[in-house]
Chains A and B, each alone.
Chain A
Amino acid sequence: MSATDATQPPAGKVPLWDLPTRVFHWALVALVAFSWWSGENHDMDRHRLSGYTILGLLVFRLFWGFFGSRTARFSQFLRSPGAVATYARGLFARRHTPSFGHNPMGGWSVAALLVTLFTMVGAGLFAVDVDGLESGPLSDYVSFEAGRQAAEIHEATFTVLLALIALHVLAILYYRFVLKTNLITPMVTGKAVPGEGAKIEPVRAHPLAALIGIIIAAAVAWAISRGLRF
């Protein structure tokens, strides 16, 4: 990090979320909605396709959590319980301590969403429907009973996911209307006016790192969609 990067004028907008992180976020929103819709309508070919794409996105996000830009890294946003508690007290007292990137509570919410989505996709890969007709690409490695169990987990996890999404949206509304902070626009444009006292750090996605991440993610999703048969 160079000194000039760290001392940008706080008045103007500065990069906050890199492009891959934003594409990941909105593609995930669209695909979770589409997966729900196709699942409800028994359109299982497209449901599976959507699931593989989500798997690819998740693998990429995992990679990006280590090799992405500053605000995308797990090391940056997974904070200690003490930091979370301090932040939570301030938040509920309507004192907003600005964070540059995920705040200490939001970081763990991201982690919870990622774990839930991985669980859901993972269970879906082994799931079998009640007719034994529609199934995930890895289902023939397990018994019918185990496949049915996986389908139950797949479905139960969706309830957890909906709860986490509701919390996510409620938090955004709380910031918007109580703390007067717009979190949505920066996730679209990538830029934000840093809050008073926020520590600004350079946010730059390395194109080569992104390319490597995309290749790994696509390879994993493709291999699993083939049921690991080549």
Chain B
Amino acid sequence: MIQPKSLVLALAAVSALAGGVASVSALTPQQTVSLRHANYEKMGKAMKAIGGELKSGAPNKGVVLANAKVIAAVAPQQGKLFPAGTGPSSGLKTDALPAIWTDRATFDGLNARLVTEANKFVAAAGTGDAAAIGGQMKALGGVCGECHRKFRKED
């Protein structure tokens, strides 16, 4: 589907121009859900690309660093993209669990850890050391997994 994707890109561009945070409240619930979904997909894609580099045994530092930066850039946006009215009870297609809105402190805590670990991942990528990258990838992935188990519908 081309349309939703270009919409999301346009939204991302708009949100960047407007200084990110402020514009989120201007999004419709559907646009919010689409944007956060596209963002998670970006991070998943970047993670997989880094995983592929690690599997090769000799990771390309440039590829790893570029993808780590993608994750670090997207991560801080995510916590704000779960306003009230964008959960499953809204009728929108989302795997977000209602627990996000009933246990917000835990959810926010995990989002904060996501940002911290993502930034550490960029630092590790900068060293180019496969063991350091792999280690930090596990730490970051641990946060993804923990949050998904608590707040995302099991696939």
A residues with CB within 8 A of B = 42, 128, 130-135, 137, 139-140, 144, 147, 151, 155, 227, 229
| Residues in A neighbouring B52, C-beta threshold 8 A | 139-140
Q: How many chain B residues touch the partner (CB < 8 A)?
A: 22
Q: Determine how close the nearest CB of chain A comes to the CB of B126; give it in whole angstroms.
A: 20
A10 to B57, CA, bound (A): 61
Interface of B, helix, strand, loop or mixed by DSSP: helix
Q: Which 10 A-B pairs have the closest CB atoms?
A: A132-B47, A140-B52, A132-B48, A132-B44, A133-B141, A131-B144, A144-B45, A144-B48, A128-B48, A140-B55
- From A130, A140, A151, A155, contact of B51 by CB (8 A): A140
Given that A140-B55, A229-B57 are contacting pairs, would A131 and B45 also be in contact in the complex, using a CB cutoff of 8 Å?
no
| Residues in A neighbouring B57, C-beta threshold 8 A | 229
Q: Determine how close the nearest CB of chain B comes to the CB of A95; give it in whole angstroms.
A: 46
Q: Determine how close the nearest CB of chain B comes to the CB of A154; give it in whole angstroms.
A: 11
17 more contacts with CB within 8 A, not counting A140-B52, A147-B48, are A42-B149, A130-B152, A131-B43, A131-B44, A132-B45, A132-B46, A132-B48, A132-B49, A133-B48, A133-B141, A134-B141, A135-B51, A139-B48, A140-B51, A140-B56, A144-B48, A229-B55
Given that A130-B148, A144-B41 are contacting pairs, would A135 and B48 also be in contact in the complex, using a CB cutoff of 8 Å?
yes
Q: Determine how close the nearest CB of chain B comes to the CB of A112; give it in whole angstroms.
A: 25
Q: Determine how close the nearest CB of chain B comes to the CB of A111; give it in whole angstroms.
A: 29
| Residues in A neighbouring B72, C-beta threshold 8 A | none
Say whether B137 faces chain A, with CB atoms less than 8 Å apart: yes
| Residues in B neighbouring A137, C-beta threshold 8 A | 55
Q: Determine how close the nearest CB of chain A comes to the CB of B154; give it in whole angstroms.
A: 9
In the complex the two chains form, is A144's CB within 8 Å of B51's CB? no
The B98-155 residues at the A interface (CB cut-off 8 A) are 137, 141, 144-145, 148-149, 152, 155
Offer 12 A-B interface pairs, CB within 8 angstroms, sorted by A: A130-B44, A130-B148, A131-B47, A132-B45, A133-B47, A133-B48, A133-B141, A133-B145, A135-B51, A144-B48, A147-B48, A229-B57
A42 to B148, CA, bound (A): 12
Q: Determine how close the nearest CB of chain B comes to the CB of A64; give it in whole angstroms.
A: 32
Most buried by A among B41, B52, B57, B141: B52
